[in-house]
Structure 1
Amino acid sequence: MNYRQNERFIILLASAAFVGLTIESIILKWEFWVPPLIIAGVISMWAMYLSARADYGIRRVYYFVLAMLALFFYGVHEEALSGLSVVAAFIMALYAFFDRIYMMNLLLLEFIILMIIQFVLRGDRTGGAPVLTYIIGNLLHAALVMMVYICCVKVIRIRAEALMTDEQKNKRIEAYDADMEDFLSNISHELRTPVNVVNGMSDLLIKSGVGYEANSIKEAGIRLAYQIEDIQDYTECKRQKLVLEENDYMSTSLINDVVTGFRSMDNTEKLELVVDMDPKVPEMMRGDVKKLHKIFRHLLSNAVKFTRVGGIYIRLTAEETDQGVNLCIEVTDTGIGMDWQAVQAVSEGMFQADKSRDRSSGGIGIGLFIVYGFAHRMGGFVKVESKKSKGTTIRVTIPQTVVNPAPCLALSRTFEGDILFHVRPEKYKVPRVREFYRSMATTLATGVRVPLYSADT
């Protein structure tokens, strides 16, 4: 229960008690001017709570002072002796939720003072009961209040110790995270130089015609360089210290680099790559193209790793805004998919779909977190839709400045003719791949405004 809910709970019960005190005061014909003050006190409590203008500490003290005044008003009447201990115990238990021991001390002191006042008011009168019974009864009442007081103080101290323990744990966790981020940042810097040397030497070996072994070294070096760069990006995302480097870029070159990157991946499953680029996307935009490349690389890499059959669908669209466009990157696969817990986990940090040591998929589990970090830093957002064994769709929307609003794809004005679209349905085992191609063809024909016809051969 947070402090706001806690405060409302206390006010609610205190208001009920004050209303009860008002009714009893009217029935017993106590001071006529006090009930309106009690009602005004209840109204003022709710007004302070709802407006929240006063500091929480001030509101807390105000509620407590009202409770002490109400208890005093109740306790100074002779008729209240039998219920005084119950009312005092109730107020102690209620205001113990504020976790302030001084309130318990003041309430106990007030109860003792009120008991003394009761003895003074009654004098030798015992209400018809034997003196010993009268004394024992009052002692039992005092013992009840004392037990409630001791329990409330004990509970407050236990909660204070637990809160302190939680704060210490949080501080240790934060310190550990900071140390781990420092370690990752340092080790990524230290490994970058030797990896660059390995890649440079492998280039020389390839040029000298050593053999395919040099190509294997080159591929391994590039993969390791990417992972080192990912670690650096991960630490910058965690620390929220990403620096944007905006440059002008061609939208078609961005897609071309994506296709080139896919061809260099280990596509042993013979997956289909379907690129659906809206021709109305601006030809040239301004943004951090390096981070856009990395977003594509991570999304495409994950899609390839977790798709065994079918294909991958990449869709690039742009929505006009007052400042430029919202560039929408959509990557859909026909892979293993994720459940809702995994979807929630990918945005929070390191996540591996397969944590076993002998897992078939590579990677270090930080790709999607980096995508989230980049998108948020660039003023965009990420949406993940996935179902187990049904595939995954990830949409990344990022605002970009338009440099040249001309369409990225267009036919010459002198073009006359139609577009024939041919796909062999029997070639694709997964029906969604045919849907990918159909969507791509429709987008292309709509964008260039040319009739599209399906051709069997």
Structure 2
Amino acid sequence: MYSQNRRKDNTEKIILIMLVINYSFMIFSALKLKWSTWLPTFMVAVAAVSVVSYVGSYFDYEGRAKLNSILIVVCFVLYSMHTGDIGAIIVPFIAQTVLIGFYDIDGILLYNTIALSVIVFYHAVILKSFTLSSIDDVYNNLVPIGNAYLVIYYIHLLGVRRRRRDKRLGQVEKELKDAEQSKDDFMANVSHEIRTPINSINGMSEIMLQNNPDEKTRLKVENIQMSCKRLNSLVDDLIDFSDLRTGKYEINVSKYSVDSLINDIVEFAYVLRKNKDIEIIADCDSTIPCELFGDEAKIKRVVYNIIGNAAKFTSIGCIAIKIGYRREFYGINLVITVKDTGIGMDKHNIEKIFSSFNQADTKRNRQEGGVGLGLPIARAIIEQMNGTITVSSEPAVGSEFKVVIPQKVANQEPVISAEFDTDENVLAYLDMEQFHLIQMRDEYKAAIDNMSKNLKIPMHMCHNLAEFKRRVELNRYTHFFISYAEYSEDKTYFNELAEKENNVIVVIDREQEEKIESDSIIKLMKPLYVFSAAMALLGKMDEGRNSISTDNYDKFTAPQARVLVVDDDKLNLNVAVGLLKTFEIEADTALSGEEALKMADSEKYDIIFLDHMMPDMDGIETFRRLRKKNGFYFKEVPVIALTANTVLGAREMFLKEGFENFLPKPVEMSEFKRILKTYLPADKIIMVDSCAGKENDCVKTLQAKEQSPQTKMADFIDYKQGISYCGSRETLMKILKIHIENGDSTLDKIKQAYENGDWKNYVIYVHGLKSSMKSVGINKLSDMAKNLELAGKKDDTAYIKENNDAFVSEYIRVLDGLKEMFKGEDSGKTQRALAQLTSIQSDELSAIYSAFEEAVYSFDENNMLHIINDLNGCSYGQVVLADRTGQIEQKIKNSDYMSALDMLKKIIDELLLEGDDNA
């Protein structure tokens, strides 16, 4: 529409200029031939009307065209009446007719036809300026007049044909737009339909991981999550590719933190290489401005695609990520380089990798999957951000991608501004011979050198263990950096060094953590880069991650918060409720917008999570009705849009409607946590580390809130430490119960090994006890076990014999204390078993199973728990059902519904079988 209006405007402008010239010639002729003075005056007025109507935009395009056509033919008729020769009139008339034809309006040439007929009649009848008495008269007069009529007809035909063509083109354009809109609607619906089950699977996986499954189960669940993310990434690629092709892809500029960007990139790379024998080497400039203006999500998308491509085609060696910058007049150029030691490419294939649906070597690498959209999308996004991407590669050597993205600076402070003590002195031992590729050695050396320069701390490198030991003896160092390979060379030496120096830092993979024997050693998870190294040097390591601590990542709970989740899919509701339980939030749920509005009337919620696509009343309509309700609460309650539709414009649409924020499905736990922390009232958020400096008060509060009167705080447990290590009170309680169950057996093993002088197994048993007791806050027993372990490793049997009895006595005291702590629970079970219970028959058991089965297949967790709770208040014959159903409730809470169903089936079968035997 815009281009069509622009074309009409240009056409009208040209016609108006030519008409003014035409008027000028007629006015000049009238003045020269000294015609009546009113005629040139009239023509000047007519020309002025034409110009003013255009400049003032009076009438529409068609109205002005008809006005100008009428005015020019009137002037031309008047002009022709003062001209005695009709032949002199025909040629300018034809020119004026062609000019009017450019308006391309149906029927407008009728004015010219009428004008020509008037002129011919006037000259033939009134002026008698020509006759048809001879052949020459016919040729000289009739032929030009006939040609004038033919020109009018030809221009009319051309206009008709052009308008028909434009009409057909307009119809085709409309059909194309309709098809494009249909495609967008299809993509949105497909995105929603695919993301909904992905969200369910991913959410259930997240809930299972939150419940600390065994290692085998955890591996399977993580594989499920990885497959979900891969499928979700494919959907994103298809949608983004479509948006980029149609020019609808937008860059959303906002302020973001560079440390978050870098941490996410490095962590993504590490997770991606999990199943491959490759190293991730990160080299980050610590002087990058800490906050920039740009589209962080798009930048991560680009880098993730490049790293993903590198991981696909690298099976051995390393992926080196370098993040730096260059100062520019507008801010900085963010420079990100990804280099790999993969299969590489020749020049011909380099030209192909940025083509859509293309891979450089499909036959050789088809097993890696993908549809060949990652790199084309990355380049298109970078170009939209006015950046550049270059690639260099060599077959069998590797590839290097370099991305340069202009960014404005929001905060000039460097991303790491920590000041280290001037006497910091680091000794590092890295055996480069463990890396077979020269490229890996070079990348590691460059990264370590840059890290030392960035942190402005001297770092002395050793190349073998003998050199390391010699330097330790000769000089004083504040910190010692080694990797697991170096630690394995002489574990005893490094364990003892850690006991003396307390600053031995071992860089390890996640799965190597349990192999570090000394608790005094600081474990730094790979990949090592400037952020994690800075934290280790500052003594601010955060358990389980390498990122610099920020408020956004602090753990918190909100047990007093009121949250409503609205979704028409029960499974999605279960996922959301399960995630909220991580924060001790008991959420209300609604299956429709209408139900949500009724619940909002009766309860004041702190946050409402509202699904977008719901039948009858969608999320937007529900939101509008909520905001129209009378009362301050309905105008201010934070409403977060939940949607699986993340095509272009979704976020803007929700924010324009007035939603506080937008949470895409599948829900990412970190984003979910950010939303909760941002929009929940501050007075309802309880930080996990809020006990700092108030330990006694905090312990009392925890006791009062979370412990029954019978479960008094034992003097042998640091309750706060136990919760910190275990992550939650529930997990701590579970582990303590396991210690009660296994304690007597472990104690017997220790006694047996001591009596047999089996010091090797003795050390193994006390080592295990040392770690397990430390993890639940039983520090005294852990320290005693640690000393006995060290004595065993040094073959100091005298120390063991002198202290074993005290150790055993302390262990017995701990076990007795733990049993006393849970005595209240056992007493409660006994009382319940002795209480009057409802007796049920075999047919009722079958009915209960059927109801439970229906609840399982409906993913109705609340109903499952309700059925089991009712069952716990019953007996079957002489059997107290609560004694057999204890694990079912836990399986339900762990979202392991099918196992719960199988267990209930097994219990019922056993009960029926026992009933038959008794009969």
Q: Secondary structure at the match of 2:73?
A: helix
The Cα of 1:11 is off from its aligned counterpart by: 2.8
State the alpha-carbon separation in 2 of the partners of residues 164 and 318 from structure 1. 54
Q: Which residue in the other structure is 2:101 paired with?
A: 96
State the alpha-carbon separation in 1 of the partners of residues 64 and 234 from structure 2. 54
Q: Give 1:114's match in structure 2, choosing from 116, 119, 128.
A: 119
Q: Which residue in the other structure is 1:383 paired with?
A: 387
Q: Secondary structure at the match of 1:98?
A: coil
Q: How does 1:153-164 map to 2 (within 5 A)?
A: 153-164=156-167
| 8 Å Cα contact 1:96-1:152 kept in structure 2 | yes
Q: Secondary structure at the match of 2:417?
A: coil
Q: Which residue in the other structure is 1:65 paired with?
A: 70
Structure 1 alignment gaps of length 5 or more: 420-425, 453-457
The Cα of 1:41 is off from its aligned counterpart by: 5.2
| 8 Å Cα contact 2:350-2:360 kept in structure 1 | no
Q: How does 1:186-197 map to 2 (within 5 A)?
A: 186-195=189-198
Give yes or no for the alignment of 1:225 onto 2:225: no
| 8 Å Cα contact 2:335-2:402 kept in structure 1 | yes
| 8 Å Cα contact 1:18-1:38 kept in structure 2 | yes
Letter in 2 for 1:86: V
**In the TM superposition, what whole-angstrom CA distance separates every residue of 1:135-170 from its partner, at most 9, and x where no partner exists?**
454332232122112211111112212222222222
The Cα of 1:281 is off from its aligned counterpart by: 1.8
State the alpha-carbon separation in 2 of the partners of residues 441 and 69 from structure 1. 89
The Cα of 1:230 is off from its aligned counterpart by: 4.4
State the alpha-carbon separation in 2 of the partners of residues 85 and 269 from structure 1. 90
Kindly tell me: are residues 48 and 310 of structure 1, through their superposed partners in 2, closer, same or farther at Cα, counting changes over 3 Å? farther
Letter in 2 for 1:81: I
Give the structure-2-normalised TM-score: 0.37
Q: Which residue in the other structure is 1:422 paired with?
A: none
Number of aligned residue pairs: 422
Give yes or no for the alignment of 1:362 onto 2:370: yes
Kindly tell me: are residues 278 and 165 of structure 1, through their superposed partners in 2, closer, same or farther at Cα, counting changes over 3 Å? farther
Give percent identity, aligned residues only.
15
Letter in 1 for 2:24: V
Give yes or no for the alignment of 1:150 onto 2:150: no
Return the structure number with greater relative CO, CA threshold 8 A, min gap 6.
Answer: 1
The Cα of 1:14 is off from its aligned counterpart by: 2.8
Query: Which sits farther off after the overlay, 98-107 or 26-35?
Result: 26-35
Q: Which residue in the other structure is 2:11 paired with?
A: 6
State the alpha-carbon separation in 2 of the partners of residues 141 and 255 from structure 1. 82
Kindly tell me: are residues 2 and 274 of structure 1, through their superposed partners in 2, closer, same or farther at Cα, counting changes over 3 Å? farther
State the alpha-carbon separation in 2 of the partners of residues 439 and 176 from structure 1. 52
| 8 Å Cα contact 2:293-2:408 kept in structure 1 | no
The Cα of 1:428 is off from its aligned counterpart by: 5.8
Query: Which sits farther off after the overlay, 250-259 or 147-156?
Result: 250-259
Kindly tell me: are residues 9 and 134 of structure 1, through their superposed partners in 2, closer, same or farther at Cα, counting changes over 3 Å? same
Letter in 2 for 1:158: R
Q: Give 1:253's match in structure 2, choosing from 249, 260, 268.
A: 260
The Cα of 1:22 is off from its aligned counterpart by: 3.4
Give the structure-1-normalised TM-score: 0.66
The Cα of 1:250 is off from its aligned counterpart by: 5.1
Kindly tell me: are residues 15 and 385 of structure 1, through their superposed partners in 2, closer, same or farther at Cα, counting changes over 3 Å? farther
Give yes or no for the alignment of 1:166 onto 2:174: no
Q: Which residue in the other structure is 1:84 paired with?
A: 89
State the alpha-carbon separation in 1 of the partners of residues 76 and 195 from structure 2. 72
Q: Secondary structure at the match of 1:89?
A: helix
| 8 Å Cα contact 1:230-1:367 kept in structure 2 | no
The Cα of 1:109 is off from its aligned counterpart by: 0.8
The Cα of 1:103 is off from its aligned counterpart by: 1.6
Q: Which residue in the other structure is 2:289 paired with?
A: 281
State the alpha-carbon separation in 2 of the partners of residues 269 and 27 from structure 1. 97
Q: How does 1:207-218 map to 2 (within 5 A)?
A: 209=216
State the alpha-carbon separation in 2 of the partners of residues 439 and 21 from structure 1. 84
State the alpha-carbon separation in 1 of the partners of residues 222 and 451 from structure 2. 39
Rg larger in structure: 2
| 8 Å Cα contact 2:269-2:280 kept in structure 1 | no
RMSD over equivalenced CA pairs, Å: 5.8
**In the TM superposition, what whole-angstrom CA distance separates every residue of 1:161-208 from its partner, at most 9, and x where no partner exists?**
22222222222222222222232233333333555677667999x956
Query: Which sits farther off after the overlay, 152-161 or 32-41?
Result: 32-41
**In the TM superposition, what whole-angstrom CA distance separates every residue of 1:65-123 from its partner, at most 9, and x where no partner exists?**
34223312222124341133322222221111111122201110111011111123323
Q: Secondary structure at the match of 1:102?
A: coil
Q: Which residue in the other structure is 1:21 paired with?
A: 26
Kindly tell me: are residues 41 and 245 of structure 1, through their superposed partners in 2, closer, same or farther at Cα, counting changes over 3 Å? closer
